[in-house]
């Protein structure tokens, strides 16, 4: 079985939308410092580009959470692979995620982080698949693109650790 990638969102459209979201976040957090939490590995591409476009002071931290393994569907089992290096108490925190699918991972993560007493906790995602949501309490505060229920790669998103480096968002199709 071979893999084929169809471009869904061009590099130019991704770049323009991240710029818009960065400007919106900058307005919303004017006069504040924002602590960005990147959900590794996929979120790192998005967070780097987003943080460059935010004009308020930002600090960065990283978490690694897994619910996919090498499959194309979430297993439903969420595990923390790497926790944060810095405390969140009193900080304005924004989780930066590459994609929200079922919402299980983000729902779990947000509950954990709320218990760490941040001043605020928001969610920013590059991609959202609302049709796949099974945890309805997960709502995005900032979303670049809503996409249909397709398995996507590129701009940090992978299939079995491949295709993260594509500069656009593509749908992965399998051919016999």
The Cα 91–Cα 119 span in angstroms is 5
The Cα 16–Cα 144 span in angstroms is 10
Alpha helices in 1-159 (DSSP H): 11-28, 43-52, 104-114
The single-letter DSSP state of residue 25 is H
Evaluate whether 160 touches 143 at the Cβ level (below 8 Å). Answer: no
Evaluate whether 136 touches 148 at the Cβ level (below 8 Å). Answer: no
For residue 99, which phi and psi values (nearest 5 degrees)?
-150, 145
The Cα 39–Cα 99 span in angstroms is 10
Evaluate whether 76 touches 116 at the Cβ level (below 8 Å). Answer: no
Residues designated catalytic: 101
The Cα 26–Cα 55 span in angstroms is 6
């Amino acid at each position: 079985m071979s893999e084929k990638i169809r471009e869904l969102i061009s590099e130019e459209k991704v770049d323009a939308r991240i710029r818009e979201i960065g400007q919106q976040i900058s307005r919303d957090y004017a006069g504040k410092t924002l602590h960005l939490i990147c959900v590794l590995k996929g979120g790192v591409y998005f967070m780097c580009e987003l943080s460059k476009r935010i004009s308020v002071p930002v600090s960065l931290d990283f978490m690694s959470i897994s619910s996919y393994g090498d499959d194309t569907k979430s297993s439903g089992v969420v595990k923390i692979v790497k926790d944060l290096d810095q405390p969140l108490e009193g900080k304005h925190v924004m989780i930066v995620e590459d994609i929200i699918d079922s919402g299980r991972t983000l729902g779990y993560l947000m509950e954990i982080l709320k218990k760490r007493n941040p001043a605020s906790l928001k969610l920013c995602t590059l991609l959202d698949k609302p049709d796949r949501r099974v945890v309805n309490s997960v709502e995005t505060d900032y979303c670049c693109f809503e996409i249909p229920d397709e398995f996507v790669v590129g701009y940090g998103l992978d299939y079995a650790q491949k295709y993260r480096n594509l500069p656009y968002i593509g749908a992965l199709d399998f051919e016999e």
